Amino acid sequence: MTNASKPPAPDTAEPSDHQNPNVDLDAMLAAAKPGASASTPVDATGQRCGLIAIVGKPNVGKSTLMNALVGQKVSITSRKAQTTRHRITGIRTKDGTQFVFVDTPGFQTRHSTALNKSLNKTVMGAIGDVDLILFVVEAGSFTLADAKVLSLFKPGIPTLLVANKLDTVHRRAEIAPWLRDMQERHPFAEFVPMSAKNKGDIERLFGIVGKYLPEQPWWYAEDELTDRSEKFLASETVREKLFRFTGDELPYTSTVVVDKFEEEKSKQHKRFIKIAVTIVVERDGHKAMVIGDKGERLKRISTEARQELEKLMDAKVFLEVWVKVRSGWADDEARVRSFGYE
Ligand SMILES: Nc1nc2c(ncn2[C@@H]2O[C@H](COP(=O)(O)OP(=O)(O)OP(=O)(O)O)[C@@H](O)[C@H]2O)c(=O)[nH]1
């Protein structure tokens, strides 16, 4: 990995429509064709590069968006709110521009446990030092939780309003007045009504975002997708399966800790990795839920996680999964830290 710290940004591109967002939905949807050219000429190396934070309340589609932008699954997605806890960088290099994305946990406003305080700190850390913020909301909706996230933004960082899940809005005509209302709330640089699940919209977003990134050499190799370790991918993969197979029953305070991650020499396999993880839950009842009838559910979680990790890491994986009860861990600051949250 090359230098990941952010060098001082040279003058950021200033798109012509920066101060004057257009709220005509049709025009907006028709504009900014994929690969739209940058509004200022690129430097001699022809490279642009910058940090982009994807921010929004839980469940608005931030992880879905980042995965679509990066082109490969790096952050887990789930129907359950609050499944993204760590700052994750996804990298995509395209059309002379390197896009470095920072995914953030959904901003928690309802509860104030130590865990949530840590999540909120991660969000704050992620948006203080970026070239562009993608503020994601559900198209046509703006709740108190959205307003709380928006109130954190420091002036000076260009912010795009990504009105996601446009496919779920049946009456498009209602979006224009909503966008006008949004324009009153914050000086958004641009509005992007879209669906993170629509490929054309993702291409269009690249064209828009590229204009805001400074001209400077890339920080990462062209084919790098994430700066997260395989150990982290292991815990994320188990966590995704855990939530997928327990549905809405399991509280989001359940977490996954990697106890062992060792690559061993093997004559049979190109790579052989031994991993041991512990799923930490708050109550005995949750433990029973994770294990399932005759251990069936835990077996499914482990098997699917192992298969996915084998593909992701191109290795033979031996995965051991344990379940432990640690009641009240989400309220205990020291313990939250010991599980890897800052
Ligand atoms: N219909 C529709 N659903 C979407 C779209 N984008 C995301 N979703 C769904 O919305 C749900 C939440 O998506 P995530 O990407 O996990 O949301 P998140 O904002 O990262 O959530 P947290 O991790 O809780 O902060 C999932 O069921 C997605 O499939 C979209 O454009 N259209």
**Amino acid symbol at 315:** A
* Residue intervals in the chain for CATH 3.40.50.300: 25-210
For ligand 1, the distance from its centroid to the CA atom of residue 297, given in whole angstroms, is 25
On whether the CB atoms of residues 249 and 283 are closer than 8 A, the answer is no
Cβ contacts of 109 within 8 Å, gap of 6 or more? 57, 144, 145, 148
pLDDT of residue 254: 82
β-strands 132-138, 159-164: how paired?
parallel
For ligand 1, the distance from its centroid to the CA atom of residue 41, given in whole angstroms, is 35
For atom 32 of ligand 1, which residue has the closest CA?
Answer: 165
Q: What is the mean pLDDT of the chain?
A: 76
335 φψ region: left (φ > 0), alpha (ψ -120 to 50), beta (else) = alpha
* Residue intervals in the chain for CATH 3.30.300.20: 230-338
pLDDT higher than 60, residue 26: no
Flag whether the ipTM exceeds 0.90.
Answer: yes
Give the pTM: 0.60
pLDDT greater at residue 328 or residue 134: 134
Homologous superfamily (CATH) for 25-210? P-loop containing nucleotide triphosphate hydrolases (3.40.50.300)
Cβ contacts of 292 within 8 Å, gap of 6 or more? 298, 299, 300
Residue pLDDT, tens place only, 46-78: 799 888 888 888 889 988 898 888 766 554 444
The alpha carbon dihedral of 231, 297, 63, 27 has a sign of positive
Closest CA to 205 of 163, 233, 174, 153: 163
Question: What is the separation of C-alpha 107 from the centre of its chain, rounded to a whole number of angstroms?
Answer: 12
Question: Any idea which fold 230-338 has?
Answer: GMP Synthetase; Chain A, domain 3 (3.30.300)
Residue pLDDT, tens place only, 213-259: 999 888 777 766 655 667 888 888 898 899 888 876 787 778 888 89
pLDDT of residue 319: 97
For atom 1 of ligand 1, which residue has the closest CA?
Answer: 165
Decide whether any atom of ligand 1 lies within 6 Å of the 67 Cβ.
Answer: no
Decide whether any atom of ligand 1 lies within 6 Å of the 64 Cβ.
Answer: yes
Decide whether any atom of ligand 1 lies within 6 Å of the 167 Cβ.
Answer: yes
Sequence-ordered alpha helix ranges (H) in the chain? 25-30, 62-70, 114-127, 144-150, 175-185, 199-210, 230-246, 284-291, 296-313, 333-338
For ligand 1, the distance from its centroid to the CA atom of residue 16, given in whole angstroms, is 31
Residue pLDDT, tens place only, 137-166: 999 999 998 998 888 777 788 999 999 999
